Amino acid sequence: MSDSDTPAGTSARLNTGVAHNARVWNYWIGGKDNYEVDQQVGEHVAGMFPIIREIARADRWFLGRAVRYLAEEQGIRQFLDIGTGLPTVDNTHEIAQRIAPESRIVYVDNDPIVLVHARTLLTSTPAGVTDYIDADVHDPDAILERAAGTLDFDQPVAVMMLGILNFVLDVDKARDIARRVMAAMPSGSHLALTHPTFDSDLGGEGQIPAMKFWNENATPPITARSREDIVSFFDGLTLLEPGLVSCSQWRAESGSPLAVPQFGAVAVKP
């Protein structure tokens, strides 16, 4: 994608000279919405930490399984997807509305290139609603205020926070964001979350030098965390089976897929 391919009206925040997570992630999963700098940084990180492409794909597959589980088995009809990233195939609203056409979905992101592609996200079944808000995970109150225009917070909501709290570098701040968002949700709401780890039992040690390179050459800065820190994001919630596991293995359809150093879980608010 070249500058000339970028639709008019893109926010001045769009900087195509520095690699950005949403675009590099898109590159790792085989997407086309990225620039040369994203490809260069993505290749370098993959050279340092080859499993990163598997992590990216596993995180995306987790999204699909989690949304299907929440819609089919838990009867959720509202989704708040914070840090959605660039649209690919089988986005949250597409999966949910295939199962229940009346589902209402709000996407949240503050990356300008995602905003450019919001028109792709803003498609819905006639019976449902799909909306997009430009907001930052660091400001949960703004997210909640704006999402309330589409979602009914008196009815259960599935909050999706996939690979987003790793961009909140202070663990107490990240924990507070998760707590504040879920505090606004009624009983029966769910939190689906993934997060990279440096824990050695999942082969996460390689995240540390790769993330150091990332933080010196790309944006936004990122961090990995321990199992203990990640499980604390679910404080006050009840983890559903199989608990906090490698996201590639959470309710995996068949076999025993490769464990990747990215935890994933779904929890319910009592």
193 pLDDT tier (thresholds 50, 70, 90): very high
Give the pLDDT score at 90.
Answer: 87
pLDDT at residue 1 tops 70: no
- What mean pLDDT is predicted for residues 74-90? 91
If you average pLDDT over every residue of the chain, what do you get?
91
196-238 confidence digits (pLDDT tens): 999 999 999 999 999 999 999 998 999 999 999 999 999 999 9
pTM greater than 0.95 (yes/no): no
Question: What amino acid occupies position 241?
Answer: E
pLDDT above 90 as % of the chain: 77
Mean pLDDT on 11-17:
58
Q: Which residue has the higher pLDDT, 186 or 1?
A: 186
What confidence score (pLDDT) does residue 3 get? Answer: 36
- CA proximity to 112, closest of 132, 131, 142: 132
Q: Which residues pair with 225 in a beta bridge?
A: 197
Res. 195: pLDDT tops 70: yes
Cα dihedral sign for 31, 34, 35, 39? negative
What is the pLDDT, as a whole number, of residue 14? 58
For range 15-31, the mean pLDDT: 85
Strand partners, 93: none
Q: What is the pLDDT of residue 201?
A: 95
- pLDDT confidence of residue 15: 63
**Integer Cα distance of 250 and 245 in angstroms:** 6
Q: What is the pLDDT of residues 35-80, one digit of tens each?
A: 899 999 999 999 999 999 999 999 999 999 999 999 999 999 999 9
Cβ atoms of residues 157 and 80 within 8 Å: yes
Distance of CA 31 to the CA centre of its chain: 16
Q: Which residues pair with 161 in a beta bridge?
A: 193
pLDDT > 70 in the chain, percent: 93
Q: 102-122, pLDDT tens digit by residue?
A: 999 999 998 877 877 877 777
pLDDT in the model for residue 11 = 41
Closest CA to 217 of 49, 38, 51, 52: 38
123-150 pLDDT, tens digit each: 888 999 999 999 999 999 999 999 999 9
